[in-house]
Structure 1
Amino acid sequence: MDSMDKRIVFRYLMAGGAALAVVHALGRFSFTPLLPYFIDDHMLTITQGADLATINYAGYLIGALIAVRYSGPNVIKKFLLIGLLGNALVTVIQCFVPQFAWLLVLRLFNGVSNGIVFVLAPALLLEWLITKNKAHLSGLVYFGVGGGLLAGGVLVDSTASYFTAEYRWIPVAIVSSALAIFSAFRFYQLKIQPIDYKASNGAKATLFDHRSIPLFLSYIGAGLGYILPMTFLPTLAHETMPADSLLVKNVWAITSLSSLLFIPLWNGIGHRFGDRISLIYTYILQALGVGSILLFPSTWGILICAVFIGGSFLGSVMCTQRLARYFQPHQGPRLSAALIAIYAGSQLIGPWLAKVWIEYGGTLLQSFALGLGAFIWGLFWTWRTPKA
């Protein structure tokens, strides 16, 4: 690949990463470090935060299902651009809306647009990279999620003393809007041949077979397991540690930085030893992360959980996507959309169960046991996934 091709590949990897940063890291997960501040500002309660997270994940599921329907070669780019720019617009509107009822609507639309883009952007980029014989680089697009998580945490915490209530969204909205415009411009320029969804014998490929079913089942554990720490870990740190603790102020930055640093590791292990092996290791580390906070609900437990969950959840996503496409190479974006729908459906349950547990007298920390069980489930079914 000559220097011109390298620049083109890098350009579109940057566009894909920026798109995921806008919809998933900034639009969605900036709510996680913001939630403790919203509670301190008396704008939200912990149960209202759980409701907002739940409806956002419901929207994510709806968006993924929409992407299944509109992932065809003639419409994929149009719906990708609508979802991307719409997500940034919702983030901007949130800067001026403190009412809980309207926030429910906005977080729903944020989730829908997030689901659409999170499916279509990596899927479209993967199909394009395959035409360039560079499919192994597809995992690098998730640098956008890791970088966006880190940027969102830094933006929230560094500007906390300058804003209150709904205005805390303003720094996130500014960065999100700029990245959305850059990414939309690049994806508008992307050219790719129509995607064929039929198998080589001309028959319509099926999503579920003896190879893919264990992988789909394991992905349920991935979604349910990671969502509680990724929604409530900063809030848990605020509840269990002194307010002036350095970790309380930086737990989301540690989680985000870990996700950024571990991406090359999972991409490299998957490329060299196979995505199945890499996927098994991601489940083990995430189970250890949640287990550590249950055993040591203090500084060390929270730190280990932040590093292991932050560093591994994107590995589960990228390795599952690539392994599924290896089993069913003719599915393309349709397969990616189905996986994200399963992922979204499972993570939808987590915040709701945490809310129910708290309302019945349990603690937020105790609800993390659900995540440990989910990762054990995911590890079991990954182990039963056929070797590629």
Structure 2
Amino acid sequence: MDKKQLSFLTGGLLAMAIALGIGRFSYTPILPLMQQKFEFSETIAGYLASANYAGYLIGAILTGLFSMRARTVPVLRLSLIIGVVTTLLMSLTTSYIGWAILRFLSGICSALVFVLASSMVLEKLRGIDKTNWSGFFYMGPGYGIFLTGISIPLFYNSWGWKGAWIGLSGLSLFLLIFVFLTFKETPGFLHNKKGRTFQKSLVPPRKWLPLLILANGCEGLGYIVTGTFIVSIAQNTPSFHFESSIIWTVVGVTAIPSCLIWSSLARRWGFVKSLVLAMLLQAVGISIPVFFSSPFSLFTSAAIFGATFMGITALGATLLGKMVPTNNSRIMGVFTVAYAIGQMIGPTLAGALSEATSNYRASLLGAAGIILIGAISLISGLKYERKKESKSKSPHLFKS
């Protein structure tokens, strides 16, 4: 991969860091700080989270309904700008309705960036037969999460909860400059007919897509419970005497290399097998705080969660990109819609259930169970992978 291609890929990584790692997930570590100040319930917290994911759903639907191929870069850039502005505006109101509207708009922008950036990057990587680099691109949210985890305590200790939102918007603006300089259309980067044909011949048939989409919906519904409340869980655990935001830093640290690791495992074992393993591991990690409440168990749960949630997204999106190798922004939108529906429902249900039971145990067990169902729905693909491996007599089923 030459310098121009690596620069483009880095720009995509930073776009994902802004839109998802900061714009979408910053609510998780700031939530307990806002609850301390305004004393709102877990149900309200769930509603605010769901507002963001409802926006994410709308954004995903838009990309599924309308082809944005000719306007990809302008729409992506506008989405990033609006996302940064909504992060800033979170500090300028104390209205629940105002927060919900801003989180909703942020969600729309996050989905547009995820779908459009993924489509751009995956198509270009297929064109040069470098889809194994998709793991580098999907490290972006992990970087964003890590940055929020280490910076929010600094902003909060200096300027309070408002300072946390303002500081993150400034950080996003700084990263946005690099995105505008590096992440743009480069037509000469695209075309490699041989590489593109090679990729197409080594993937599951399109008739298997509904099961992949179903599993992605289960992942969205299950992962988001921990993704929304893990910092609050740590803060409400009597034995946890650390700064609660350090839990989110652990998530970011393990998320950063996870996509590269899972992409490597997928080339060795196959995408379906890797997806099933990642989802099973995530279900175990999510359920750990149900049975153990020590600081070590919370750190372990956070580490496993970080090591799997973006890896699962990267594996699923890359596999879908291989199955639908060109003009795939619409099917990527459908794929993301399933995920968005799940993650929109999850926080509201988990928040209400947690408030009713005065703990998160039932919510976490339910989330782990849903992810387990998603993993089971993929099992039929294992037979296909074994069949293809036998036919090709190669241990590297999806070698990129």
* Common fold by TM > 0.5: yes
- CA shift at 1:210, angstroms? 3.0
Residues 52-93 of structure 1, C-alpha deviations (whole Å, 9 max, x = no match): 100100000101111223444212222112111111121122
Q: Which residue of 1 aligns with 2:248?
A: 252
Q: Which residue of 2 aligns with 1:79?
A: 75
CA contact (8 A) 2:239 2:293 kept: no
CA distance in 1, matches of 2:53, 2:221: 11
Residues 193-219 of structure 1, C-alpha deviations (whole Å, 9 max, x = no match): 69xxxxx9xxxxxxx953112111111
Identity of aligned residues (%): 26
Asked if 1:336 is matched to 2:332, the reply is yes
CA contact (8 A) 2:152 2:164 kept: yes
SS at match of 1:210: helix
In the superposition, relative to structure 1, how do residues 40 and 242 fare at CA in structure 2: closer, same or farther (>3 Å)?
Answer: farther
- CA shift at 1:122, angstroms? 1.4
CA distance in 2, matches of 1:374, 1:57: 18
Aligned residues: 374
- Mark the runs of 5 or more structure 1 residues left unpaired by the alignment: 195-199, 201-207
> How does 1:143-292 map onto structure 2 within 5 Å?
143-191=139-187, 210-242=207-239, 245-246=241-242, 248-292=244-288
Q: Which residue of 2 aligns with 1:124?
A: 120
- Which piece of structure 1 moves more, 224-233 or 121-130? 121-130
CA contact (8 A) 1:241 1:299 kept: no
SS at match of 2:293: coil
Q: Give 4+ residue runs of structure 1 displaced > 6 Å after superposition.
A: none
CA distance in 1, matches of 2:28, 2:354: 18
SS at match of 1:256: helix
Q: Which residue of 2 aligns with 1:367?
A: 363
Q: Which residue of 2 aligns with 1:298?
A: 294
- Which piece of structure 1 moves more, 308-317 or 271-280? 271-280
SS at match of 1:363: coil
CA distance in 2, matches of 1:85, 1:249: 26
TM-score for the superposition, normalised by structure 2: 0.87
> How does 1:91-130 map onto structure 2 within 5 Å?
91-130=87-126
In the superposition, relative to structure 1, how do residues 136 and 375 fare at CA in structure 2: closer, same or farther (>3 Å)?
Answer: same
CA distance in 2, matches of 1:39, 1:111: 21
Q: 2:334 is aligned with what amino acid?
A: A
CA distance in 2, matches of 1:73, 1:50: 35
- CA shift at 1:231, angstroms? 0.5
CA distance in 2, matches of 1:341, 1:257: 27
Residues 294-337 of structure 1, C-alpha deviations (whole Å, 9 max, x = no match): 11133233122101111101111111112223333345222221
SS at match of 2:257: helix
In the superposition, relative to structure 1, how do residues 73 and 159 fare at CA in structure 2: closer, same or farther (>3 Å)?
Answer: closer
- CA shift at 1:149, angstroms? 0.4
In the superposition, relative to structure 1, how do residues 334 and 361 fare at CA in structure 2: closer, same or farther (>3 Å)?
Answer: same
In the superposition, relative to structure 1, how do residues 20 and 242 fare at CA in structure 2: closer, same or farther (>3 Å)?
Answer: same
Residues 11-31 of structure 1, C-alpha deviations (whole Å, 9 max, x = no match): 011110111111101011111
CA distance in 1, matches of 2:177, 2:336: 24
CA distance in 2, matches of 1:135, 1:315: 14
CA contact (8 A) 1:236 1:365 kept: no
CA distance in 2, matches of 1:32, 1:16: 23
CA distance in 2, matches of 1:235, 1:359: 13
SS at match of 2:157: coil
CA distance in 1, matches of 2:145, 2:115: 18
TM-score for the superposition, normalised by structure 1: 0.90
SS at match of 1:262: helix
CA distance in 1, matches of 2:216, 2:81: 28
- Which piece of structure 1 moves more, 219-228 or 294-303? 294-303
Give me the CA root mean square deviation: 2.4
Q: Which residue of 2 aligns with 1:354?
A: 350
Residues 238-261 of structure 1, C-alpha deviations (whole Å, 9 max, x = no match): 011346x12634111111111113
Residues 341-361 of structure 1, C-alpha deviations (whole Å, 9 max, x = no match): 111111111111112213434
Q: 2:302 is aligned with what amino acid?
A: A
In the superposition, relative to structure 1, how do residues 328 and 131 fare at CA in structure 2: closer, same or farther (>3 Å)?
Answer: closer
Q: Which residue of 2 aligns with 1:325?
A: 321
CA distance in 2, matches of 1:171, 1:43: 23
Residues 151-204 of structure 1, C-alpha deviations (whole Å, 9 max, x = no match): 01111123321122333212111111111232133234543769xxxxx9xxxx
- Mark the runs of 5 or more structure 2 residues left unpaired by the alignment: 192-196, 198-204, 389-400
CA distance in 2, matches of 1:157, 1:241: 20
CA distance in 2, matches of 1:330, 1:160: 45
Q: 1:219 is aligned with what amino acid?
A: N
CA distance in 2, matches of 1:170, 1:270: 39
Q: 1:76 is aligned with what amino acid?
A: T
CA distance in 2, matches of 1:8, 1:278: 31
CA distance in 1, matches of 2:264, 2:2: 19
1:52 is aligned, of 35, 48, 52, to: 48
CA distance in 2, matches of 1:275, 1:331: 21
